[in-house]
């Protein structure tokens, strides 16, 4: 069981995906994407997961925030077993843990103005009216280095770096304390990567955030993270 300084604890986590074959699509085996992984993330820490493609690091992140259900093991968030929560209870905890995806191009609906994309979660969770959400969007755009007049523009009008700032703003508007950042700079030009990394650092200092930072680039992880775990092929891991 995690202590009071631990925000997230992963204990003996396993995630297997079935392999199916034959005419009737019967299960013929498993892909062990994550196999018996354990670690703790303390409040205010940036914990790094580094590894090559296929090493299971993204699966770990998505299982922690309950996009996937684990095959085995336990994930604690604020002392609660996140995978035992009812849908109603999970909804209460969901704003506190957010996921930022790798690809800012596919993470935003091209038909929706970015202001609506950022603010809709506030309305969906019953945390604000549409008017209040718009005011919140203005504030979070500024925090993330964007201008208020961007609120009514569409994703195609922004550069890759700006789109990732929008995705970060969408996560930040719910006032989370834990963010899983899954390869958040790997799709960006090198010149832009440093700006986004600096933004993560600034937000952590201002908002007292805790990060799980996932990357294949060890140099990026070493720059940001106080604790690093190396994911090897198919879900095995070891501390660095």
Residue 229 has pLDDT above 70, yes or no: yes
pLDDT (mean) for 146-163: 94
- pLDDT at residue 3 tops 80: no
Predicted confidence at residue 240, as pLDDT, reads 59
What whole-number percentage of the chain has pLDDT above 90? 73
Q: How far is CA 192 from CA 159, 161, 206, 225, in A?
A: 10, 6, 21, 19
Tens digit of pLDDT for each residue in 162-199?
999 999 999 999 999 999 999 999 888 888 999 999 99
pTM of this prediction?
0.91
Q: Is the dihedral of CA 174, 101, 18, 21 positive or negative?
A: positive
Residue 2's DSSP bridge partners are none
DSSP string, 193-204: HHHHHHHHHHHH
Fold classification of 6-108+175-239 is: Rossmann fold (3.40.50)
Judge whether residue 236 has pLDDT over 60: no
Share of the chain above pLDDT 70, in %: 95
Mean pLDDT value across residues 188-212: 94
How open is the CA angle 191-192-193, to the nearest 5 degrees? 95
Q: Count other C-beta atoms under 10 Å from residue 40's C-beta.
A: 17
Tokens of 52: 């090559």
Domains of the chain, by residue range, sit at 6-108+175-239
Q: What is the mean pLDDT of the chain?
A: 91
């Amino acid at each position: 069981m995690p202590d009071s300084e631990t925000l997230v604890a992963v204990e003996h986590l396993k995630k297997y995906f079935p392999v199916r074959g034959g005419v009737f699509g019967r299960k013929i085996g498993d892909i062990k994407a994550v196999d018996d992984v354990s670690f703790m993330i303390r409040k205010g820490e940036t914990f790094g997961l580094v590894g090559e493609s296929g090493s299971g690091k993204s699966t770990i992140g998505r299982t922690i925030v309950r996009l996937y259900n684990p095959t085995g093991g336990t994930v604690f968030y604020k002392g609660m077993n996140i995978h035992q929560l009812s849908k109603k209870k999970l909804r209460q905890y969901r704003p506190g843990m957010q996921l930022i995806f790798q690809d800012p191009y596919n993470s935003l609906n091209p038909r929706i103005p970015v202001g609506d994309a950022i603010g809709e979660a506030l309305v969906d969770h019953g945390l604000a009216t549409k008017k209040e959400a718009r005011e919140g969007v203005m504030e979070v755009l500024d925090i993330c280095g964007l201008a208020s007049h961007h609120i009514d523009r569409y994703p195609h009008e922004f550069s890759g770096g700006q789109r990732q700032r929008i995705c970060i703003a969408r996560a930040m508007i719910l006032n989370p304390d834990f963010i899983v950042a899954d390869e958040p700079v790997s799709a960006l030009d090198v010149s832009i990567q440093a700006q986004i990394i600096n933004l993560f650092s600034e937000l952590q200092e201002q908002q007292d955030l805790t990060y799980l930072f996932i990357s294949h680039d060890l140099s990026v992880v070493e720059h940001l993270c106080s604790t690093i775990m190396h994911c090897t092929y198919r879900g095995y891991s070891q501390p660095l």
